[in-house]
Structure 1
Amino acid sequence: MSITLPSGGAPMPPADDEKPFGSLGVDPHGSRRSRAVNAYLARVTWPMMLAAGRSHPLVTAQMIQRTRPGLNRTIERLSPPPSGTQVELVRETFRGGQIRGEWVTGRRAADPQPGTRIIYYLHGSGYVVCSPRTHRGLVARLGNRTELSAFSLDYRLGPEHPWPCAGNDAIRGYRWLLAQGYRAEDIVVAGDSAGGHLALDLLAVNHATRTPQPGSMVLFSPLYDPTFDLAVDNQRSGVHDPIINAVTARKILRLYTRSADPDHPRMRIRLTPEMSLPKTLIQYGSLEVMGADARATHDEIVGAGGVSVIQAWPDQGHVFQLMPRLSTEARQAVDTAARFITVTAPTRTEPAS
């Protein structure tokens, strides 16, 4: 199946192909700025990741709790929302749990109301850091380019709230949107990193509970394997991520997953043909150790009979779309994601007169 982009954009490739980048005007070797930034990040972040990895697990948990506020503030400064972005905080009780998050409406986006399309955003975190505020810039930019408002979920994080708290929150948030009157086919699920794993979990649980699936899905550098074994193997094969040391990241993820059975169906998620999967776009950076997770996510969707378009962006790191100030390609990638969302809009049928 081929998905055609509007406004003269290049056609999306068949589901089992990766996107060629010449037609997008993207340097096949990555921009000079991206290469310089990644070299700098590798010099700065790898020593910190290695030091954290050598720490005792209990110290690592304390370290996450101490450093989380500062790390979040740094990301917020590096990825601010565009001017004119409006934010409405949500704090509600729903079906025995809490709905926490924010509506993000960009300057060019329509106000959220039932009957319109919206984005349901699940931020990345390693399940232990970040928030809707850290991702407000990315969510607003995606909303501006699609002219859609987005609900960005503030799910619970480890180590304070272990598995499957975040997944339960993501499921509750989706059902809350349905209860507000939004049609499932009008919901675009989008997420990055751990948010990708939350999105897959949502699809599987939707099927098990006979809840209608979202209309489409966009995933940036999705996590597929929460044991992080795929990423560790990818690193040992020679992939040198400028940001993430896979061995250390695996220890950090365990602060959330703890003693969860790695083969539990909500850990190792299996999709099947009867799940009515949404059309999906996956983007990842060619330098990241989680490229193996992105490819496994794509294979899982295609193997279940779904439509998945995967793009490996050259010389990019993990969730590069978050940092347009650091990566020229970030804007191009978000533009491409927005076009995908536009062309996968449900067809409206006019009522008979």
Structure 2
Amino acid sequence: MQTSDTEVLWRPAGRGSFRSRAVNGYLTRVSHPVMAAGMGRNGPSARVISAMRPGVNRSLSALSPVPSGTRVEQVRESLADGQVRGEWVSAHAGPARPASTDQTILYYLHGSGYVICSPRTHRGLVARLSRRTGWSAFSLDYRLGPEYRFPTAGDDAIRGYHWLLDQGHRADQIVVAGDSAGGHMALDLLADNHRRGIAQPRGIVMFSPLYDPTFDLAVASQLRGVRDPLIDAVSAQRILQLYTGDAEPGHPRMRVHLPAGMSLPPTLIQVGGLEVMGDDARAVERVLREAGGHVRLQEWPGQGHVFQMFPLFSDESRLALREAAGFLRNLPTRAPTVHVMPE
């Protein structure tokens, strides 16, 4: 069994930088009413979410600029069991798609509440990770609610990992990163790999990961007085239901459980001190640690949800991304693994 190596890091002490405090105050006044718009008595309709998605995505893309010189290659491949869609992203000297399968790559799972965002909205964040690590990244374009329901997105994330293995990328050369719902999908992927006997990735980085898709943990945090500058938990809970539908809260792919002693990669979790999803991040850390994983949990004071995505908002965004890239570059090497899918 792997030993636990959990670290809670506060950096820097205090309430965060002046710029981040100013931006967070503005976001709280703007984003919460936007999230509540169109809710209606029974929550948001599928039509409202589908209509709002393009505008929200354009705004997020504008707030997370893509570094100059970034190269992108679109992927859309039909397989026997479905489709793999996404994009290769590179912000270093090499091509978007790695020239050799012997190179370490990032597999990025974007956040969304399972209903918004895309590789395009997260291209800036993925490119900055690519630049800091020197690795190419495959950013998955998975199916979203309300058009598709649980566990469609998780199935797409698992299929994407298998596709990378089938392309010749070894598991010990794949590093998974994800934010928010992407963190939930990463945890689901680890559980699925264990069930199928498939080799785990070399490492994991999670930004503000979701653990409980019912969003009960986040709503309870908000009721205790936690005020996230980006997320109104009550509105977000109703939006998430457009994806989760009537899924049972205890379903093993909703609140993911990992058995003790399973093979797990080293993991870094970063979460903002203002987040209503702080308890979700701590639950993910606990699940990994109790299963025997090596986990580092970094809590950044004065920061909101996935603050790493917005370098224009705070110095902490750049510092956190630098920490994440350093963690990735220093991951221990493993013996090569051979990809053999179970019968």
TM-score calculated relative to the size of structure 1: 0.90
Matched residue, 1:17: 7
| Cα distance in 1 for residues equivalent to 2:92 and 2:64 | 17
Query: Which AA in structure 1 matches 2:76?
Result: R
Partner deviation per Cα, 1:152-174 (whole Å, 9 max, x = no partner): 00000000011111000000000
Matched residue, 2:282: 295
Offset at residue 80 of structure 1 (A): 1.7
Matched residue, 2:51: 66
Q: CA contact under 8 A between 1:123 and 1:191: conserved in structure 2?
A: yes
Partner deviation per Cα, 1:261-306 (whole Å, 9 max, x = no partner): 1111111100123320110000011001001100100011011110
| Equivalent of 1:46 in 32, 35, 40 | 32
Offset at residue 28 of structure 1 (A): 3.3
| Equivalent of 2:79 in 78, 94, 100 | 94
Matched residue, 2:130: 143
Offset at residue 345 of structure 1 (A): 4.2
Offset at residue 94 of structure 1 (A): 2.0
Q: CA contact under 8 A between 1:109 and 1:144: conserved in structure 2?
A: no
Query: Which AA in structure 2 matches 1:190?
Result: A
**Runs in 1 of length 4+ with deviation above 2 angstroms?**
14-17, 26-29, 47-57, 107-111
Query: Which AA in structure 2 matches 1:79?
Result: S
| Cα distance in 2 for residues equivalent to 1:345 and 1:287 | 32
| Cα distance in 1 for residues equivalent to 2:34 and 2:103 | 45
| Cα distance in 2 for residues equivalent to 1:141 and 1:196 | 18
Offset at residue 51 of structure 1 (A): 3.9
**Matched residue SS, 1:38:** helix
Q: CA contact under 8 A between 1:284 and 1:318: conserved in structure 2?
A: yes
Aligned runs of 1:1-353 on 2, under 5 Å?
15-21=5-11, 26=12, 28-57=14-43, 59-108=44-93, 112=98, 113-346=100-333
**Matched residue SS, 1:19:** strand
Q: CA contact under 8 A between 2:109 and 2:140: conserved in structure 1?
A: yes
| Cα distance in 2 for residues equivalent to 1:56 and 1:230 | 21
| Cα distance in 2 for residues equivalent to 1:77 and 1:51 | 21
Query: Which AA in structure 2 matches 1:46?
Result: H
Q: CA contact under 8 A between 1:273 and 1:306: conserved in structure 2?
A: no
Q: CA contact under 8 A between 2:233 and 2:276: conserved in structure 1?
A: yes
Equivalent pairs counted in the alignment come to 331
| Cα distance in 2 for residues equivalent to 1:301 and 1:347 | 19
Q: CA contact under 8 A between 2:172 and 2:335: conserved in structure 1?
A: no
Query: Which AA in structure 1 matches 2:174?
Result: I
Q: CA contact under 8 A between 2:106 and 2:138: conserved in structure 1?
A: yes
Q: CA contact under 8 A between 2:10 and 2:301: conserved in structure 1?
A: no
Q: CA contact under 8 A between 1:53 and 1:247: conserved in structure 2?
A: no
**Aligned CA-pair RMSD:** 1.5
| Cα distance in 1 for residues equivalent to 2:80 and 2:172 | 22
Instruction: Note the residue ranges of structure 1 that are not aligned, 5 or more in a row.
Output: 1-13
Partner deviation per Cα, 1:204-237 (whole Å, 9 max, x = no partner): 0111011110010000000000000010111111
Instruction: Note the residue ranges of structure 2 that are not aligned, 5 or more in a row.
Output: 337-343
Overall identity of the aligned pairs, in %: 57
Offset at residue 327 of structure 1 (A): 1.9
